[in-house]
Amino acid sequence: MASVLIVDDAAFMRMMIKDILSKNNFEIAGEAANGAEAVDLYKDLKPDLVTMDITMPEKDGIQALKEIKAIDANAKVIMCSAMGQQAMVIDAIQSGAKDFIVKPFQADRVLEAINKVLS
């Protein structure tokens, strides 16, 4: 069973992803509300995958992605973006993100991205 760290400053968004993953036999390794927390939790939990919101306070998703990739070059991170964040998504992919999903989340797209990245 793959473990996933969910990172989003909105508790509601974390809950939505958690719900999709829990129903599909993924283990929730942990949750972070900002990029700084995400990096700390990644070090502690070593999850198989991270879903990372792009726009967050304290440390945004792209900065957190870069720090996680510096800790673990093989880290698998999927970015979560709102509509109209194409430039940030491109930056994230160039920084090592494996894929991205767009809000509002559609369960099938979330699962497709996760399964593709983990396979």
Q: Is 28 helix (H, G, I), strand (E, B) or coil?
A: strand
pLDDT at 36 over 90: yes
pLDDT of residue 93: 96
Q: What is the pLDDT of residues 58-85, one digit of tens each?
A: 899 999 999 999 999 999 999 999 878 8
Q: What letter does residue 42 receive in the DSSP assignment?
A: H
pLDDT at 86 over 90: no
In this prediction the pTM is: 0.96
User: Rounded mean pLDDT of the chain?
Assistant: 96
Residue 18: CB atoms within 10 A of its CB come to 16
Tokens of 28: 């929730």
Burial code of 66-80, b = ≥16 C-beta within 10 A, e = fewer? Answer: ebbeeeeeebbbbbb
Q: What is the pLDDT of residues 2-21, one digit of tens each?
A: 999 999 999 999 999 999 99
Question: Among 100, 49, 8, 79, which residue's Cα sits nearest to residue 16?
Answer: 8
What domains are defined for the chain? 3-118 (3.40.50.2300)
Asked whether the bond before 57 is cis by omega within 30 degrees of 0, the reply is no
